[in-house]
């Protein structure tokens, strides 16, 4: 079956990265924004996976409520294509801070606070922490809700996870990426993830791994590469 994805996010950087990662696999990705859907459900889960599923389910519900989108992405009688509404819940887990900011990464110190301020505050807190105790990882859970093909079909759902290990550096460096990338140091590259080129980051990142695992799972369940 032909596979297509609707990416449920309000974060334009995630849309850009997911498109870059999926280009080449022939799977079209539509963002909720370009479909005219805006969903920002409360992230009440206690894990990345739960929150990713909350976002995917909320967006899938909105797609099914819009007659034009339902007809386009979940036509009752068409079994030649399958639409996965996918969502990413991600964040930075710092061991020396007991896993913070974790699932609170976007909300940490408030949405209005810039990432430069958030990173500066964390660097201050960790001033005396030696390198061997500065371990951290980016985590991305990618959840999928498969839109039903018929009234009786309840739609499958599942989630996968990707991680990228590194450590908190001592300064803010680099112009690429977004969020916490400029102080996330990758010892084997001698650079922060904001100093990697986009294709280098996508090759090793939590999101790259998560989206590739999700793509493999979709192809395994629903068909061949398009
Ligand atoms: P949506 O919920 O609409 O997808 P969001 O930005 O609110 O967008 P999250 O709740 O998943 O997304 O928060 C993820 C935060 O984790 C993100 O805003 C960054 O602060 C951080 N983060 C995740 N992936 C990152 C990456 O690749 N590089 C740097 N920071 C990242």
| Full-model pTM | 0.95
pLDDT value of position 225: 55
pLDDT value of position 107: 96
- Sign (positive or negative) of CA dihedral 204, 139, 28, 219: positive
Q: How many CA atoms lie within 13 A of 94 on its CB side?
A: 22
CB proximity list for 120: less than 8 A, separation 6 or greater: 172
Which residue is closest in CA terms to ligand 1's atom 22? 91
**Phi-psi region for residue 2, left (φ > 0), alpha (ψ -120 to 50) or beta?**
beta
Cis-peptide, bond into residue 101, ω within 30° of zero: yes
Give dist(CA 42, CA 51) in Å, integer. Answer: 9
pLDDT value of position 24: 84
Q: How many whole angstroms from 41 Cα to the centroid of ligand 1?
A: 15
**Ligand 1 proximity of 212 Cβ (cutoff 6 Å):** no
**Ligand 1 proximity of 138 Cβ (cutoff 6 Å):** yes
pLDDT value of position 191: 98
pLDDT value of position 61: 96
- Of 42, 43, 91, 177, which is best to mutate to test ligand 1, by the most ligand atoms within 8 angstroms of its C-beta? 91
pLDDT value of position 75: 85
**Ligand 1 proximity of 10 Cβ (cutoff 6 Å):** yes
**Which residues of the chain register pLDDT less than 70?**
77-79, 149-154, 224-226
Cα distances (angstroms) measured from residue 13 to each of 16, 100, 162, 210? 5, 22, 17, 16
pLDDT value of position 73: 93
pLDDT value of position 183: 98
């Amino acid at each position: 079956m032909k596979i297509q994805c609707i990416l449920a996010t309000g974060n334009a950087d995630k849309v850009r990265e997911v498109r870059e990662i999926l280009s080449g696999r022939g799977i079209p990705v539509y963002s909720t924004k370009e479909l005219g859907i805006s969903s920002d459900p409360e992230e009440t889960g206690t894990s990345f996976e739960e929150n990713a599923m909350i976002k995917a389910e909320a967006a899938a519900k909105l797609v099914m409520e819009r007659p034009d989108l339902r007809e386009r992405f979940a036509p009752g009688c068409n079994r030649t294509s399958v639409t996965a509404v996918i969502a990413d819940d991600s964040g930075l887990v710092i061991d020396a801070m007991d896993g913070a900011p974790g699932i609170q990464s976007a909300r940490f110190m408030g949405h209005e606070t810039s990432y430069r301020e958030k990173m500066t505050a964390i660097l201050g807190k960790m001033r005396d922490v030696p390198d061997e105790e500065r371990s951290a990882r980016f985590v991305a859970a990618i959840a999928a809700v498969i839109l039903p093909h018929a009234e009786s079909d309840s739609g499958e759902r599942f989630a996968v996870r990707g991680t990228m290990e590194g450590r908190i550096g001592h300064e803010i460096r680099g112009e690429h990426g977004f969020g916490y990338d400029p102080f996330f140091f990758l010892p084997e590259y001698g650079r922060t993830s904001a100093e990697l080129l986009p294709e280098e980051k996508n090759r090793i990142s939590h999101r790259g791994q998560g989206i590739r695992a999700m793509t493999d799972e979709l192809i395994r369940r629903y068909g061949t590469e398009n």
